[in-house]
Amino acid sequence: MSMMKKKLGFLPIYIWLFSVLVVLNLAPATCQADEPALVKGLSWTFYRKSCPGLEAIVKKRIDFFLRQDITQAAGILRLHFHDCFVQGCDASVLLDGSASGPSEQDAPPNLTLRPKAFEIIDDIKKNVDAICSKTVSCADITALATRESVKKAGGPTYRVPLGRRDGLTFATRNVTLANLPGPRSNVTALIKAFQSKSLDTTDLVALSGGHTIGIGHCSSFTNRLYPTQATSLENEFAQSLYRICPTSTTNSTTDLDVRTPNVFDNKYYVDLVQNQVLFTSDQTLLTNSETKKIVESFASNQTLFFQKFGRAMIKMGQVSVLTGKQGEVRANCSARNPTSYSSVISTVVDDEIVGVEDALSAM
């Protein structure tokens, strides 16, 4: 009998161990069920050992800058989008021009990127390198800064896979123009542009929701005012735009979202269904039955929008990334490293170890 009691005494331990194994096996699928698959070389825990304080540093610096000026959230979000859509999320948009030619920053779509956004990324890089020298790429810092900016503005949080390397080159003017959808693009062109980045129509509509913060330049929407007012513009809203842009050549700006311009919410979609948006590329989402349905669902359900936006950002943040031994980890985000520079970033991701770590973090 005593022997039987001893054996039974171990039973709860066996049950506990079995339960832990079950949780480890199921956690990634159940706790993060809607997250897209990761590109090989990226990991949720890439800097867990080499720079464990990374995300806290990024958050602290973003909090500092956005407390002073919340409008910078839109600038950082736009910077990340313009980087990822042109030769991938490799921080190539941060590079200055060189003897080989002008940089991506000199291409027309990028001329209105906010200088302060570049300064903020440089500041975060400096603060990260003070703790984790030669370890974290500018591309990863940009992705994390974007997530923190969206969150600070009232938007959703989402996990950011890490392990990107910085590009060695920047795209030409023509390549930049060919890859960035313009404010006058129609829905067919937008769907095609997003599909070329492995992003679907839900991603297109969700990422368009980034226009819930930020500003638009008259030159980007006066085609809807001159020579005649577009029929798709709500009249009272159109009259307010005429006051801001009294001529077709006026160089002024206005908020993208007329309801809550500095809050990241779903009001952009409310604006859209009321025909109160600036760009053709926004209004056109109502001309396709599939995108229109998604717009209407986001307009009535902010939680759904936040879920789909976070998922789309994870997908966009993995577009044509450099990993492993590709690219480099820049010492200065605006310039390639000298040949003598050597980074210490890990180039190998152990999928099994990462899987267990992710399961544990999800418990």
Confidence of residue 101 (pLDDT cuts 50, 70, 90): confident
Q: Which two tokens stand for residue 282?
A: 């926004």
Active-site annotation holds for 82: yes
Residues annotated within the binding site for substrate are 181
- The answer to whether the bond into 183 is cis (omega within 30° of 0) is no
Strand partners, 254: 216
According to the model, what pLDDT value does residue 280 have?
99
- Under 8 Å between Cβ of 57 and 128: yes
Residues annotated within the binding site are 83, 86, 88, 90, 92, 104, 181, 211-212, 257, 260, 265
In whole angstroms, what is the distance from residue 220 CA to residue 189 CA?
Answer: 17
Kindly report the CA angle at 268 between 65 and 33, in degrees rounded to 5? 80
pLDDT tens, residue by residue, 117-128:
999 999 999 999
According to the model, what pLDDT value does residue 343 have?
61
In whole angstroms, what is the distance from residue 267 CA to residue 274 CA?
Answer: 11
Q: List the catalytic residue out of 82, 165, 267, 315.
A: 82
Unique residue bearing structure tokens 């302060």: 116
pLDDT tens, residue by residue, 49-80:
999 999 999 999 999 999 999 999 999 999 99
Selected residue with higher pLDDT from 252 and 354: 252
In whole angstroms, what is the distance from residue 288 CA to residue 293 CA?
Answer: 9
- The residue among 208, 328, 200 whose CA lies nearest residue 268 is 208
In whole angstroms, what is the distance from residue 148 CA to residue 290 CA?
Answer: 30
In whole angstroms, what is the distance from residue 59 CA to residue 64 CA?
Answer: 9
Q: Is 176 exposed, middle or buried (0-12, 13-18, 19+ CB in 10 A)?
A: buried
According to the model, what pLDDT value does residue 148 have?
99
Kindly report the CA angle at 127 between 70 and 347, in degrees rounded to 5? 110
pLDDT tens, residue by residue, 10-39:
444 444 434 433 333 333 332 355 899 999
Unique residue bearing structure tokens 């760009």: 279
Sign of CA dihedral 181, 184, 188, 191: positive
Which residues neighbour 161 within 8 Å (Cβ) at sequence distance 6 or greater? 38, 39, 42, 43, 44, 46, 314, 317, 318
Domains and CATH numbers, the chain: 54-214+256-316 (1.10.520.10)
One-letter amino acid of 48 = R
Which residues neighbour 108 within 8 Å (Cβ) at sequence distance 6 or greater? 173, 177
Confidence of residue 98 (pLDDT cuts 50, 70, 90): confident
